[in-house]
Chains A and B, each alone.
Chain A
Amino acid sequence: MPDQTPRPLPRSIDETLTLLTEGDYVADRALATVLYLSLTMQRPLFLEGEAGVGKTEIAKVLSTALGRRLIRLQCYEGLDVSSAVYEWNYAAQMIEIRMEEAAGSADRKTMERNVFSERHLIRRPVLEAISGEAGAAPVFLIDELDRTDEAFEAFLLEVLSDYQVTIPELGTVKAAEPPIVIITTNRTREIHDALKRRCLYHWVDYPDAARELEIVSRKVPDASARLSGEVVAYVQRLRQMDLFKVPGVAESIDWATALTELDRLALDPQTISDTLGVLLKYQDDIARLGEGESARLLEEVRSELATAD
Chain B
Amino acid sequence: MARPEEMADTREPEGRLGENIVHFARSLRKAGLNVGPASVTDAINAVLAAGIGSREDFYWTLHAVLVKRHEDHAVFDEAFRLFWRSRELVEKMLAMLSPVAPAGAQREKPRSGEKRASEALAKPPERERKQEPDTEIEIDARFSLSASEVLRSRDFAQMSAAELELARRAMRKMIMPHDRVKTRRHQPVASGRRLDPRAMMRHGLRTGGDLILPRFTAPRSVQPPLVVLADISGSMSQYSRIFLHFLHVLSERRRHVHSFVFGTRLTNLTRQLRHRDPDEALAECTKAVEDWSGGTRIGEALHVFNMDWSRRVLGQGATVILMTDGLERDRIDLLERETERLSKSCRRLIWVNPLLRFDGFEPKARGVRAMLPHVDELRPVHSLEAISDLCDALSGADRKAWKPLAKPHATAHTAGPGGAHGRA
Contact = CB atoms under 8 A, between A and B. Distances in A.
Interface of A: 76-80, 82, 87-88, 90, 93, 97, 100-101, 106, 108, 111-112, 115, 146, 149, 151, 186-190, 242, 244, 284
Contact of B312 (A93, A100, A111, A190): A190
A112 B337 CA distance: 63
Label chain B's interface by main secondary structure.
helix
Contacts of A82: 198
Contact of B209 (A76, A88, A111, A151): A111
Given A77-B184, A115-B205, A188 B198 contact: no
Contacts of A146: 315
Given A78-B183, A80-B186, A190-B312, 9 more contacts: A77-B185, A87-B198, A88-B201, A90-B197, A97-B204, A101-B209, A111-B205, A111-B209, A189-B315
Contacts of B315: 146, 188-189
A106 B307 CA distance: 65
Contacts of B183: 77-78, 149
A187 B312 contact: yes
B197 to A, nearest CB: 4
A244 B197 CA distance: 45
For this complex, into which size category does the number of interface residues on chain B fall?
20 to 34
B222 A100 contact: no
A242 B334 CA distance: 13
Nearest to A87: B198
Interface string B187-228: 000000000011011001100110000000000001000000
A18 to B, nearest CB: 35
A244 B198 contact: no
B312 A244 contact: no
29 contacts: A77-B183, A77-B185, A78-B183, A78-B184, A80-B186, A82-B198, A87-B198, A90-B197, A93-B201, A106-B208, A108-B208, A111-B208, A111-B209, A112-B205, A115-B201, A115-B205, A146-B315, A187-B311, A187-B312, A188-B311, A188-B315, A189-B312, A189-B316, A190-B312, A190-B313, A242-B307, A244-B307, A244-B341, A284-B337
B306 interface: yes
Contacts of B205: 108, 111-112, 115
B306 A244 contact: yes
A151 B208 contact: no
